[in-house]
Structure 1
């Protein structure tokens, strides 16, 4: 049975419905936990009542015979209570771990579903904090706080009723202690929820700084800014420490009062109870049972502060996680597939603006037609919109106006997994993962054979992987930091080539290569592009020569399309962009 509640509710359903959906697969476990908890509360009351019967009966009457049976009964009840606690905690732990696993899976899946515009707005540390710290807070409350909140409320209510029935004046003393506790709890809850959110947000900010410091360590060291970055991290850590101390002080005040009130009630009960026994209003056994039951309420009452604190942290964590779950993907998979893909790519009157600046068009009225098997080089000045244009093909972003089609089908109508099998992209800034070189290569095509892998490595001149300590099975480290920029680009290019797409998008993929390696890669790429539709972002004339045609992108629109030499002769702007490289090629 699927544990994913996100697939069930209709659009617009409240977030709490989604959280409740995680509990559905664990209904049996929750029922067992509830039954064990109720039975445990009953035994908590039964044992003192047996003690009362023992004191007021055989002990008072000096009869030895009934002592052993009543003592064994109390022992048996204690053993059963211990067994119920074990069952409850075992079932509870299994259910809670299953719930956390399901939430972690769905959170990661939702992050994968959300478009680039979402990830560009959110700090990675904030997302990391939600996937780790916040999920842990929910697990702790679900595994401890939620159950004991219910048990303790039930125990306090039932035991108070028993005490009122046993001797109502003392029962009223116990019941009267609930008024200040409820008042304190309400005040505590309002303040604690605010400060808990601040702490969790600041933890996310600190995680962002830690991650940026790790990923950008080469830049930090090269500029000698380690002390500066450390000071920024320390400042964020001090801010978090200050807020956390405010949170601790608030909780400490609350817990102190919760400790004082029950202990004060015990003193009053002892005093009034002794007077009641002296005047014959209750028996010694009743007083012992009363005090035993009274003491059994100390933990439920004193733990209320801890449980409420956990509840507020869990509620804050749930709200932060639901911010992600409630963000509806703006890029939704279509249903169509290309039956016989040829790779005919067209941009038809394409407009694009980023969602946070809808009135500022980055691309406007872009028209470009790439025939199957044709390669077009996209040339333009920095900031002209080249990278955004290439990102529209695999739907990393969606067009604002017009449409992008593959073989006549709007890419928005295609199934996303199918579209991203048709299109492979290699970026100027390659992303490699903390896994083996082989796993990085086969990320887009897990069923690739050894021959296909070797062929892709040959095209990208990435044979250096065989010189790594364990060859293709060498773990290359997070972000591929152990490799040079050119090596990372070549591995990323091999990954794109290995996918064997109908449309290959290269976003200035060769920028970090030396002239000799670039020439070898371009020769091999020429053979690959002969059978694949290619869209290449180019800054060098040598890369442009890979293309059948060149498209010049100026100020967000394509102004000229034609042969490289034709544009050199007729378009001054194009000639200025490639002047140095063009002279070298012409010579």
Structure 2
């Protein structure tokens, strides 16, 4: 809870962190005075039948209670403001940090654990912040204050307080020392369960198609059982707390009444002082219980802080360049002897890939599954950094460019048709400004999104989560339209027509060719029909360039390309 990184978040709410505990301490002082007032009523007012005195002391008790309530409300308000504020800023920074991490950096964290950290872990930290303001100072102060007041009333009777306090503390230590380490295990088991849940939700069609529902149900049940076992161990340990501590409290009060009775008979204590001592005994032991619960919350919050810090402290391996302009006279893309392998892996996914794409060219990149096509696209967008060689976009090494400049110049339509909840307009704009209605209509026209005009709301038609209220082909065409918005210099279609029929695919490519003259277009595909009309085709196989040329040249001279064509096209189509 008190790490240096977290202190900067606490500092944003310094006033609440000072005012809240101060109000709570004031409330505790007022609470310590109440037993003394009660003692005066019992010792002075009742024996003397002094009604005005009893009413005056009663009014004082009401005043102390009302004042304590006022200070408690102020403290609660401060705790709520700081709790929600710290959580809000922390979530924002955590999400921003996740966005700054490269794909390779994010691979160190699963999606499930990132979701847990940004939700459950920050909730635990918020609970810790609230407890820090409300109770972390109040409970120790009440314990110490009650002991001092008890010693002031009768030093010998305070031995009962110390004995009961020691026994309760020993019980707390026994339970907490065994339960606290289990809270980290609970977080780990929860991560695993969320990962399984996410996989089941995202892959529900595959699960049903391969009749794996029973297997996945058993897998989830196993993860759930593991989480339940750890939670039950914690619950069983914590179940001892209340019965044992309240037993000690009651025994302590009984001891006070027994020994106090002898002292009252001897005249060394009054009945009112016995009542005050009983109240202080209850305050001490209940405060110990509350403080133990605070420790539990702090332990959970501490584990969550470590997990959140792990993400916030992750050093990006990819650093943004400073160049935000390009050389208009340079080639659109230059890939120079590029090698690539994932971190912690020696297997090269790309090896000595070398080619040049001139401005305004339409280029096809073709290859089978695992050829390295999508990896190459990710390198062009600098989602990963090359292991060897360099990639230049309009004369600039992509590592020297700002992310905004690079990704404004290069737009991609990826394999997955990802739409966000909102409207069609919001999905097309995707945060861009200065885009006119005509620009949006042009993008929709090129992408063959005529169905949007038929929607009652048009561009303001709602898009549900993941675009599930649109068909696969409609989602894919909307993603194409989104990539066209913003007038990019380079447009990449990464196998983005898999959900389209041949006619729609052909119409869309014809519209792109007609409307985007002068732009550089890359078609990454497994279909020969998608790339055959390109100015140049790059054949990839097992991460190596096996040939570069037009369709006719490669078909005549490259055996691998010819095999691909013959497997997809008739002889007349292949040679035409």
CA separation of 1:546/1:443 partners in 2, compared to 1, >3 Å: closer, same or farther?
A: farther
Matched, 1:83 2:70: yes
Separation (CA, whole Å) in 2 of partners of 1:15 and 1:267? 41
Which shifted more, 163-172 or 234-243? Answer: 234-243
Separation (CA, whole Å) in 2 of partners of 1:370 and 1:43? 79
- Matched-pair contact (CA < 8 Å) for 2:327–2:396: no
Return the match for 1:581 from 558, 569, 573: 569
Return the match for 1:344 from 323, 332, 344: 332
Separation (CA, whole Å) in 2 of partners of 1:489 and 1:39? 63
Shift of 1:507: 0.9
- Matched-pair contact (CA < 8 Å) for 1:334–1:412: yes
Matched, 1:474 2:461: yes
Return the match for 2:248 from 261, 265, 277: 261
Return the match for 1:541 from 528, 536, 539: 528
Which shifted more, 116-125 or 406-415? Answer: 116-125
CA deviations on 1:293-318 (whole Å, 9 max, x unpaired) are 22222431232343232222222222
Shift of 1:25: 0.8
Shift of 1:385: 1.0
Matched, 1:276 2:255: no
Separation (CA, whole Å) in 1 of partners of 2:21 and 2:344? 49
**Aligned position for 1:138:** 125
Matched, 1:200 2:194: no
**Aligned position for 2:231:** 244
**Aligned position for 2:167:** 180
Return the match for 1:356 from 340, 344, 351: 344
Separation (CA, whole Å) in 2 of partners of 1:162 and 1:361? 75
Q: How many residues in Structure 1 have an aligned counterpart in Structure 2?
A: 573
Shift of 1:389: 0.6
CA separation of 1:15/1:425 partners in 2, compared to 1, >3 Å: closer, same or farther?
A: farther
- Matched-pair contact (CA < 8 Å) for 1:262–1:298: yes
Q: Where in structure 2 are the equivalents of 1:32-111 lying within 5 Å?
A: 32-111=19-98
Separation (CA, whole Å) in 1 of partners of 2:88 and 2:421? 22
- Matched-pair contact (CA < 8 Å) for 1:375–1:529: no
- Matched-pair contact (CA < 8 Å) for 2:463–2:469: yes
- Matched-pair contact (CA < 8 Å) for 1:538–1:544: yes
Matched, 1:217 2:204: yes
Separation (CA, whole Å) in 1 of partners of 2:171 and 2:406? 58
CA separation of 1:269/1:469 partners in 2, compared to 1, >3 Å: closer, same or farther?
A: farther
CA separation of 1:278/1:101 partners in 2, compared to 1, >3 Å: closer, same or farther?
A: same
CA separation of 1:227/1:28 partners in 2, compared to 1, >3 Å: closer, same or farther?
A: same
CA separation of 1:469/1:198 partners in 2, compared to 1, >3 Å: closer, same or farther?
A: farther
Q: Any idea what SS the aligned residue of 1:402 has?
A: strand
CA separation of 1:292/1:255 partners in 2, compared to 1, >3 Å: closer, same or farther?
A: closer
| TM-score (normalised: structure 1) | 0.91
- Matched-pair contact (CA < 8 Å) for 2:532–2:550: no
- Matched-pair contact (CA < 8 Å) for 1:262–1:301: no
**Aligned position for 2:150:** 163
**Aligned position for 2:141:** 154
CA deviations on 1:2-25 (whole Å, 9 max, x unpaired) are xxxxxxxxxxxx992111211001
**Aligned position for 1:5:** none
Return the match for 2:284 from 286, 297, 306: 297
Separation (CA, whole Å) in 2 of partners of 1:288 and 1:29? 36
| TM-score (normalised: structure 2) | 0.93
Matched, 1:460 2:447: yes
Q: Any idea what SS the aligned residue of 2:487 has?
A: coil
Shift of 1:103: 1.3
Shift of 1:63: 4.2
**Aligned position for 1:407:** 394
Superposed CA RMSD: 2.3
- Matched-pair contact (CA < 8 Å) for 1:145–1:310: no
CA separation of 1:479/1:62 partners in 2, compared to 1, >3 Å: closer, same or farther?
A: closer
Shift of 1:546: 4.1
Matched, 1:123 2:96: no
- Matched-pair contact (CA < 8 Å) for 1:541–1:582: no
- Matched-pair contact (CA < 8 Å) for 1:156–1:300: yes
CA separation of 1:585/1:466 partners in 2, compared to 1, >3 Å: closer, same or farther?
A: farther
Matched, 1:385 2:372: yes
Shift of 1:145: 6.0
For structure 1, which runs of at least 5 residues remain unmatched after alignment? 1-13
Q: Any idea what SS the aligned residue of 1:258 has?
A: helix
CA deviations on 1:248-299 (whole Å, 9 max, x unpaired) are 1121123433333233222222222222222222222222222222222243
- Matched-pair contact (CA < 8 Å) for 1:384–1:554: yes
Separation (CA, whole Å) in 1 of partners of 2:386 and 2:180? 41
- Matched-pair contact (CA < 8 Å) for 2:25–2:137: no
Q: Any idea what SS the aligned residue of 2:389 has?
A: strand
CA separation of 1:555/1:492 partners in 2, compared to 1, >3 Å: closer, same or farther?
A: same
**Aligned position for 2:498:** 511
Q: Any idea what SS the aligned residue of 2:349 has?
A: strand
Separation (CA, whole Å) in 1 of partners of 2:167 and 2:523? 72
Separation (CA, whole Å) in 1 of partners of 2:164 and 2:453? 75
Which shifted more, 440-449 or 338-347? Answer: 338-347
